[in-house]
A and B are shown apart, each in its own frame.
Chain A
Amino acid sequence: MSLFELFHYEFMQRALVACVLIGFTNGFIGAFVVLRRLALMADALSHSLLPGLAIAAMLVGLSTAGLLLGGLLAAFFVAIGGHLIARSSRVKDETAIASLYIIAFALGVAIIKFAHVKVSLDHFLFGNILGIANSDLWTSFAVSAIVLLSLVILHRPLLLALFEPSVAKTQGVAVDWLLGLILVLIVLTMVSSLQAVGVLLSLGLMVLPAATIYLLSDSYSKMSWCGGLLGASGAVAGLILSYWTNIPSGPAIIMVLGTVFLAAYLFSPKYGIIIRHLKVRHLHEESLSRWDEEKH
């Protein structure tokens, strides 16, 4: 079947729009996740969404507003709870957050199994982009608009805060608020990606494009914009791969983005390991020849 025919189906058209929206937004915010070294924090947040989603689904069904609120609250409790535990005991931040998110995740699985939620666990964990509804698309659209507008409007103070938080504070930048805002935007983006890739794989959609561009470019703004483009095109490519091979859409998208990331790791013209290997030898030869010159 040609690509053109493929997108005749309405469910494929919806999936295509979802891929572009979700892929772009995740790829864009990913720059902030990578530069602020928030990948593990984002992983914790993604797991901690589950009980919130389950309780929301139990109380108000699968309404997107309910899921957004449930996810946000659950992530909020884990983040704040982890912080409180770290401050009130000798347990350090990352241990506290890891402990809480895994407890939250287990709790979420239990709630879904026993509370008569009409959704399978798999759906929350891995998503299904082909089953996306119009209401999901509107949610994605709204979340993308909020996330992208916030990040674009605030890009100057965000850059100052990411690069050197302490210096930014002296320049009057509300660093703590901005970093808190980034966490909120991360959770919003994750919940809106739920339908497509699920809580477990949403992290890949967020981190892989930015990590790839980080290996290719020295420009901070390119990291978000090109990250967005790569996220969107990777998601679309993954969707097509998924249709042709019957691999579920979430894993297919992540595998496409993962391949690109590994390729950049190997072949990036500036920061790839192959070129670095060649360069090191080059310098070595240079110093050897200089040594020779001095001897003569």
Chain B
Amino acid sequence: MTPRLTITDATVSYNRVPAVHHLSVTLNSHSLVALVGPNGAGKTTLLKAIAGLVPMETGKVVVHGGNRKNAIAYVPQREAVDWDFPITVRGLAEMGRYPSLGLWRKFGAEDDRIVEESLHVTELEAFADRQIKALSGGQQQRAFLARAWAQQAEIYLLDEPFTGLDRNAQEAFSGALQKLRESGKLIIASHHDLKSVPELFDHVLLINGELVASGPTSETFTTANIEKTFAMKIFSGSEPHHHHHEPHQQ
């Protein structure tokens, strides 16, 4: 277990209303982290800030052992993807190689090997030539994991990956995430179904605008901490009993 990602004093605001503020945490490799908090707690915002998709007002994100651009793979919410795009599962995985290939370098034997490996890890070999819409929801999620693997990412950021998956798909997807964890990756996934946290994740990061608790699921995912997370008045000024959406979702 070595530190993989350190976030120090991160504050992210939309229209000067902070969605995440002064959050500091260190996460290790070999971890499968559930990012848990009520609606509007800043889960998506935090994932995007780590990925570099939204600017941070204060603080910094440090990736240990690897540069940030290649080490981090952001897997978008399913609704954010154009599933009609003319691309197959293998094509998607191959896209993962593009950043390190640059404009010119040819697709070599090593690239082919990594792409095949990514399809193997995610158990998508049989579906490699399918267009991405012709997959089930769980397979679609795994196809994006395959691309992240092909990118040789060390840190996987997933936004509500289990949403809309049935029991079987959830198990298969969870299996793929376990494999990633065993091979040393750090996976951080926002997750809203509290019941399934203990069986799916070995680490939890509880946030509500600010950090509430972070640690191994068995120690940290306690009733006291959960109540604290969901009862806390959100700093960003909006009334906690009003239903309100995650700010500025794409």
Contact = CB atoms under 8 A, between A and B. Distances in A.
Interface stretch (B8-16, B95-103, B209-217, B223-231): B95-103
B12 to A, nearest CB: 15
B59 interface: no
Nearest to B102: A156
Interface string A153-185: 110110110111011011110000000000000
Contact of B131 (A154, A169, A218, A222): A218
B74 A170 contact: yes
A169 B85 contact: no
Interface centre among A160, A163, A222, A223 (most CB of B within 10 A): A163
B250 interface: yes
The prevalent SS among residues of A at the interface is helix
Given A156-B103, A170-B51, A170-B69, A217 B98 contact: no
B99 A171 contact: yes
B150 interface: no
Nearest to A214: B86
B170 to A, nearest CB: 23
B53 interface: yes
Contact of A164 (B52, B72, B81, B101): B81
Contact of A218 (B82, B87, B102): B87
B88 A167 contact: no
A217 B101 contact: no
B99 A217 contact: no
A219 B131 CA distance: 9
A220 B91 contact: yes
A169 B53 contact: yes
Contacts of B52: 169-170
Interface string B160-203: 00000000000000000000000000000000000000000000
A35 interface: yes
Interface string A221-255: 01100000000000000000000000000000000
A291 B103 CA distance: 53
B233 to A, nearest CB: 31
A220 B76 contact: no
Given A166-B76, A167-B76, A169-B53, A156 B98 contact: yes
Interface string B71-95: 0101010001110011110010001
A279 to B, nearest CB: 12
A160 B73 CA distance: 13
B173 to A, nearest CB: 19
A163 B53 contact: no
Interface residues of B, number: 25
Nearest to B69: A172
B53 A218 contact: no
Nearest to B70: A171
A33 to B, nearest CB: 14
A270 to B, nearest CB: 8
Interface centre among B76, B80, B86, B131 (most CB of A within 10 A): B86
B74 A167 contact: yes
Interface string A191-234: 00000000000000000000000100111101100000000000
A163 B82 contact: yes
Contact of A220 (B53, B80, B86, B103): B86
Nearest to A163: B85
Contacts of A167: 51, 53, 74, 76
Contacts of B91: 219-220
A214 B131 CA distance: 12
A171 B69 contact: yes
Nearest to B54: A166
A35 B102 CA distance: 22
A73 B176 CA distance: 52
B86 A223 contact: yes
Contacts of B99: 160, 171-172
B86 A153 contact: no
B85 A35 contact: yes
Contacts of A153: 103
A160 B87 contact: no
A263 to B, nearest CB: 19
Interface string B125-158: 0000001000000000000000000010000000
Nearest to A173: B99
Q: Nearest 9 pairs between A and B by C-beta?
A: A218-B131, A156-B98, A171-B99, A170-B52, A218-B86, A170-B51, A220-B86, A172-B69, A166-B53
Given A160-B99, A170-B72, A219-B88, 20 more contacts: A159-B95, A160-B95, A163-B85, A164-B81, A166-B74, A167-B53, A170-B52, A170-B53, A171-B70, A171-B98, A171-B99, A171-B151, A214-B86, A217-B86, A218-B87, A219-B86, A219-B87, A219-B91, A220-B91, A222-B86
Interface of B: 51-53, 69-70, 72, 74, 76, 80-82, 85-88, 91, 95, 98-99, 101-103, 131, 151, 250
5 contacts: A153-B103, A167-B76, A170-B74, A171-B98, A218-B88
